[in-house]
């Protein structure tokens, strides 16, 4: 069953979510100790289980990404992805209400901190809605052609790249410049 009348939209959402989950999983696996610290820093799970959660989450995310890329079990992986994204949004919102916005969200371990914000809550909510959109359609779009797959995959890659670049720019903006030495050294007197 086709969720939308344009198979490319369904495929775009599918590939975008696959990239998001694969990228998040790989970065968490590469920085497992740091990610465990991020999970602990959210202060939502008992210490007895936060390590197991931090160890298991990247593998669940990889499974979701593989399912979405291969087009196998999309209703289940879409529902699980949506559920995880809404849980992440709630966890971020709880910490924002607690006044703990300076902790890192742990979304992508790209070497720069990403403080908690309502923008992250909105991002996860929108991605979660997209995941539930996919869960409503039980199979690959029937009317999709090879060019639909290629265009949707490329569009998802471009959107993911733009998002990652925007995150890097936002993180760079938050770095201290050491009393603005760089700006004053470059000026002529």
Q: Is the pLDDT of residue 162 over 50?
A: yes
Q: Is the pLDDT of residue 2 over 50?
A: no
What's the pLDDT score for residue 181?
47
Host domain of residue 159: 7-178
**Residue 80 phi, psi (nearest 5):** -65, -40
CA angle centred on 103, ends 98 and 107, rounded to 5°: 115
Per the domain annotation, does 26 fall within a domain? yes
Extract the tokens encoding 70: 């291969």
What's the pLDDT score for residue 178?
53
Average pLDDT over residues 64-68: 96
Per the domain annotation, does 151 fall within a domain? yes
List 46's β-bridge partners, or say none. none
Radius of gyration in angstroms for the set of CA atoms belonging to the chain, rounded to a whole number? 19
Count of domains for the chain: 1
Per the domain annotation, does 188 fall within a domain? no
- What does the mean pLDDT of the chain come to? 84
Q: Confidence band (pLDDT; 50, 70, 90) for 187? A: very low
Per the domain annotation, does 67 fall within a domain? yes
What's the pLDDT score for residue 76?
94
Answer positive or negative: Cα dihedral of 75, 78, 81, 87: negative
Q: Are 7 and 144 spatial neighbours (Cβ–Cβ below 8 Å)?
A: yes
Helix then strand then coil, in percent of the chain rounded to 5, is 70, 0, 30
Predicted confidence (pLDDT) per residue in 17-39, tens digit: 999 999 999 989 998 888 898 89
Average pLDDT over residues 175-180: 54
Task: Report the SS3 class of residue 122.
Answer: helix
CA atoms within 13 A on the CB side of 55: 5
Per the domain annotation, does 32 fall within a domain? yes
Per the domain annotation, does 184 fall within a domain? no
């Amino acid at each position: 069953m086709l969720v939308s009348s344009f198979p490319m939209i369904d495929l775009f959402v599918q590939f975008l979510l696959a990239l998001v989950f694969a990228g998040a999983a790989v970065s968490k696996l590469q920085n497992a100790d740091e990610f465990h610290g991020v999970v602990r820093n959210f202060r939502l799970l008992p210490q007895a289980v936060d390590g197991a959660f931090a160890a298991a989450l990247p593998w669940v995310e990889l499974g979701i990404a593989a399912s979405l890329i291969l087009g196998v079990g999309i209703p289940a992986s879409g529902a699980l992805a949506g559920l995880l994204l809404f849980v992440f949004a709630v966890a971020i919102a709880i910490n924002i209400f607690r006044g703990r916005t300076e902790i890192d969200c742990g979304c992508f371990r790209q070497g720069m901190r990403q403080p908690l914000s309502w923008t992250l809550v909105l991002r996860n909510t929108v991605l979660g809605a997209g995941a539930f959109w996919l869960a409503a359609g039980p199979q690959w779009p029937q009317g999709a052609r090879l060019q639909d797959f290629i265009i949707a995959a490329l569009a998802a890659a471009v959107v993911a790249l733009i998002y990652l670049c925007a995150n890097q720019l936002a993180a760079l903006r938050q770095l201290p410049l050491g009393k603005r030495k760089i700006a004053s050294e470059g000026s002529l007197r």
